[in-house]
Amino acid sequence: MGQAMTKNQIVSKLSNDAKLLKKDVVKLMDDLAALALKEAKNGFTIPGLGKLVLANRKARMGRNPQTGLPIKIPAKTVLKFRVAKAAKELLLGKSKKRR
């Protein structure tokens, strides 16, 4: 596997492909990220890629890894990204049905 692209590499690729200035691509990426975070509570979808959503986790019992004693983990809200079905199939291939 190769390494993940850096922000500068992504900006360069997008600016070359779209024939835009790098500063315009950076502004667009920053604006998209800000909008996604602002709208995540309602669900923010990037077509063909996935959806950013808030999810509630229930309180549960866990274990302290050092002592082995049980601990209570409180309920909390977390941010999740659900990958679009089309993106999964493109990257992982069609999933086989279980019997």
Residue-wise pLDDT tens digits, 58-81: 999 999 999 999 999 999 999 999
Does residue 57 share a domain with residue 33? Answer: no
Q: Which helix (H) or strand (E) holds 44?
A: strand 44-46
- Give the pLDDT of residue 93: 85
Mean pLDDT value across the chain? 91
> Does residue 99 have a pLDDT over 60?
no
State the residue for tokens 């291939």: 93
Kindly state whether residue 2 falls inside one of the protein's structural domains. Answer: yes
> Does residue 96 have a pLDDT over 70?
no
Q: What is the pTM of this model?
A: 0.71
> Does residue 18 have a pLDDT over 80?
yes
Asked if residue 81 lies in contact with residue 50, where contact means CB atoms within 8 angstroms, the answer is yes
Does residue 47 share a domain with residue 75? Answer: yes
Kindly state whether residue 97 falls inside one of the protein's structural domains. Answer: no
> Does residue 46 have a pLDDT over 80?
yes
Does residue 34 share a domain with residue 65? Answer: no
Does residue 32 share a domain with residue 64? Answer: no
